[in-house]
Structures are given as structure tokens and as C-alpha cells.
Amino acid sequence: MPEAALTFIFEDSRSARCSARPGETALAAARRAGIALDADCMEGACGTCKAQACSGAFDLGDPLEDALNNSERASGLTLLCQTVPQGDCVFELPYDSTRAMKRGPTPVRPATLVAIAEVARDVVRIEVLAEGPHVDYLPGQYANVQVADGRIVRSYSMATRSVQGAPWVFYIRLLAGGAMSDWLRGATPGARVSIEGPFGHFYLRDPQHPIVMVAGGTGLAPMLAMLDHLAATQGQAQNDAQDQTQTAPQPPANALSGRRGQQVLLLVGAGSEDELFGATELKRLQSHGVALEWRHAVVHPGPTWQEASGHVTTLLREDDLDRSSDYYLCGPPAMIEAARDWLSAHAVPSARIHAERFIASGVGAR
């Protein structure tokens, strides 16, 4: 069995990563990597190493009821000193990274702007290549981008999956009078920037259910990263399945839809049609194994607009409702609240809703 990639996300949104060897516990792997997670007995008896398991398969022996009771276990809590990953896993810790990260805060890495292009009205796509060793991130997370010698810092979600050696891709909305926006309007490839990250609790969970994504404006960016990840993993799964058909009987015809990939409904909103972007990317992802359907809504439709009018939440329909789906929301606060209200009114469990809100300026801007 290959090593498993472990991600630990702390309350302050910072994260740490390491690899677990076959048979190694998550806590031991973290300690070997210099990540000092809370622990005491190391025997599954005290409960000090309790963490929320968010993604991935693992073995959890038979911890004492006092350390982890049945309802905690049912809610996804685990004891990291007893958790032996069986694949890549994500855990959330109920404390800040400063308690665990002996190496201090996430380093700021020098980087170069290698591409910049306007992809829609007031939206640019940039590619930033960071120096130093590869830093992995989860699809959906964000980073702080620093320009002008660190005097301007903004947070943006990565728009592709993490690939060693590849630039980090961001979609950024240009604002009138915004410091970062003004800098970007004059930026050309070769400009020096810095990257700090990754950060954030908004990331793709184990895709075991249909997925509904609701994106407002550049809130599409983290969805693209998630879809990119799904396309990559689905493509691998399809290759494996094709290899197996060399020796195994052919599946019945109706199994084809199951092999077609993860079902995703993507709802995208914008102020007007010329602010929409990403269609080429979505078609590429769709052709790479994700059973993706997307719909648009614009607040100010032009005379030739043929899709929905209004805010993106008007695209939420009872016909599409599946309470077992995972819902991912990213956009301005009002959009998040409206989508949450709709989902809650339709009895979608809050555990199935993952949201990232962004504001229009300062750190946290998109």
C-alpha cells in the first residue's frame, strides 16, 4: 500500500500536511513530520488527540468508551493516536495551528506572475509560479497573494487542483479603486509576487454523493479546482476500469452511467452575461469524466439572454433537490445566506452544506 497523504486543518484555517507510512498512525506520521498535535496517553484512553475525520478511510481499533463514545464516533470524531489511514485523509483539529506548528506560521514564498489575461468583464485569470519545494493544497482552499513588496495582500481561491511544478491559478474580480485591482491592471508576466498558504476549511469532501455547487461571481474558482480534482481522479478510475475490462466480463449497459463519473450540478450567478467566465474550462472538465451540468443566472440580462434571470439562488429548485447531496456554496455573504436559508427550509442537513463567503476588499477579497 502506498503512503497516505494526510492533511490537518486547524481552527485558524491554517493546515499542515504529511505522509503516513503503511500501518502508521496519523499521530505518529504527524510527529515524524514535526507537527506537534495534542496527545497524551497514546493508547486510545484519554481522548486528548480527538479530531474530526472529514475525508478518507482509516482503521480505528477499539478505543475506550471514555476516550471516544459511540455518538462521537458516529459523528465522525476519531482518536489520531489510534487512527491508521487506509488512504489520503483530512482531519480537523479543535485548536489553532500555533499550538502544533513548531515551524511557526505558514511561510511566505516568493513567486512570479507567469500569465495574466482578462477572461470576462472585470475578471482576470492569473497564473503564479511559486519558488521552493512543492506545497500541496486541497481543492477549494485559498492562498494570500502579496504584491507591491507585500504592501497589498488579498486572499483568492485556487482554481485548479494542486499539481507539482504547475503554477497556482486564480480568478480575480477587478474593483474600481481597489489597490490589488489597480496593481493587476498594470501587471505583466514576470512581475514579482509572493504566496502564503494554503488556508481554509472549504474543500472537497469525499465525493460519495451527488454534488451541488452554487457559485456567485469569482466564487466559481474553488469549484473549478474541485471539478479539476474530480476529473483527474475520475479519469484514473476510468482507466483502471478499462484495464479491468481486458480480463473481466463487460458490465451491463446501464452501468455506463455509473462509470461516467461523479454527478455535479453547478449553479453560477453573475451581474450580467459579460461577467461570466469558465465555459471552456467547464467543457474540458466535462469531457474528462465528470458528469457535470451547469446553469447560469444573471441579475441584469441582455436582450439575447436565454437562461435564468435573477440571483443564482433562483436556480435552486425542488426538482433537483437530493437531501443526500453535498452542497458547496461560494460567493458574497448575501448569496451564502440566501442559499443556506433555502437549503435549510428544504430540510437539507447542515452537515451537508459547506460554504465560503468572500468580501469585496481587504484580506478575504476575491
Residues that bind ligand FES (CB under 6 A): 39-42, 44-49, 67, 79, 81
Q: Judged by CB, which is closer to ligand FES: 83, or 157?
A: 83
Q: Judged by CB, which is closer to ligand FES: 63, or 140?
A: 63
- Over the chain, what HEC string results? CCCEEEEEECCCCEEEEEEECCCCCHHHHHHHCCECCCCCCCCCCCCCCEEEEEECCEEECCCCCCCCCHHHHHCCEEECCCEEECCCEEEECCCCHHHCECCCCCCEEEEEEEEEEEEECCEEEEEEEECCCCCCCCCCCEEEEEECCCCEEEEEECCCCCCCCCCEEEEEECCCCCHHHHHHHCCCCCCEEEEEEEECCCCCCCCCCCEEEEEEHHHHHHHHHHHHHHHHHHHHHHHHHHHHCCCCCCCCHHHHHHHCCCEEEEEEEECCHHHCCCHHHHHHHHCCCCEEEEEEEECCCCCCCCCEECCHHHHCCHHHCCCCCEEEEEECHHHHHHHHHHHHHCCCCHHHEEEEECECCCCCEC
Closest distance between ligand FES and the C-beta of residue 60, in Å?
Answer: 11
Q: Judged by CB, which is closer to ligand FES: 60, or 267?
A: 60
Closest distance between ligand FES and the C-beta of residue 100, in Å?
Answer: 14
Closest distance between ligand FES and the C-beta of residue 64, in Å?
Answer: 8
Closest distance between ligand FES and the C-beta of residue 79, in Å?
Answer: 5
Which of 81, 41, 33 shows the shortest CA–CA distance to 58? 81
Q: Judged by CB, which is closer to ligand FES: 66, or 118?
A: 66
Position closest to ligand FES via CB: 81
Closest distance between ligand FES and the C-beta of residue 296, in Å?
Answer: 49
Q: Judged by CB, which is closer to ligand FES: 48, or 238?
A: 48
Q: Report the amino acid identity of residue 47.
A: G
Closest distance between ligand FES and the C-beta of residue 72, in Å?
Answer: 12
Q: Judged by CB, which is closer to ligand FES: 13, or 69?
A: 69
Q: Judged by CB, which is closer to ligand FES: 49, or 147?
A: 49
Q: Judged by CB, which is closer to ligand FES: 83, or 218?
A: 83
Closest distance between ligand FES and the C-beta of residue 81, in Å?
Answer: 3
Closest distance between ligand FES and the C-beta of residue 42, in Å?
Answer: 5
